[in-house]
A and B are shown apart, each in its own frame.
Chain A
């Protein structure tokens, strides 16, 4: 097991300390949420419906305000709204739809 080949890691290539990893791949869920405000996101509800739009803001209950919202059901756009308020209890996840 110990002899199995491993991809070279930066720390083995040089003795200098590795560069700090990009911020977007570390940090807490809160850091993620702070990072996605103002970005395009996909909000999936527990019902399976997706809302795609620009995340204006959110609160501690995961209540969400979206702009330029598209409602997707089974991959098909079923509605468009200028702004939407989504009640937090319905939210399954928030996914970034553009690089952070």
Chain B
């Protein structure tokens, strides 16, 4: 292991460096969130503010047609707790 390159020794370091930053979260059930991360724990339970949720709704009729049309529903929430078991991935803002 060479942690000197990124300063990241364990995956949670990546999340810790994203506190108070806007993050992208991919959830089970074709849901995505962007919001500002304020808290998390070892289960990846999250508390975020200024959240926009995007729900991808795939129309089964269009799948049958071989088309790839997804309806997208969006909504906003001020302050949100996200239960960790639904989290697939968290991506911090790119630091360049």
Contacts and interface: CB of A to CB of B under 8 A. Distances in A.
Q: Is A–B contact present in the complex under a CB 8 A cutoff?
A: yes
Interface in A41-100: 45, 47, 51, 56-59, 63-65, 67, 69, 81-87, 89-90
A67 B6 contact: yes
A87 B14 CA distance: 12
Given A63-B11, A83-B94, A85-B14, A56 B89 contact: no
B91 A85 contact: yes
Interface residues on B, range: 20 to 34
Contacts of A56: 6, 8, 11, 14
Nearest to A64: B11
Nearest to A89: B85
Contacts of B81: none
A85 B15 contact: yes
B3 interface: yes
Nearest to A62: B11
B87 A34 contact: no
A83 B12 contact: no
Interface of B: 1-3, 5-6, 8-15, 24, 44, 84-85, 87-96
Interface of A: 34, 37-38, 45, 47, 51, 56-59, 63-65, 67, 69, 81-87, 89-90
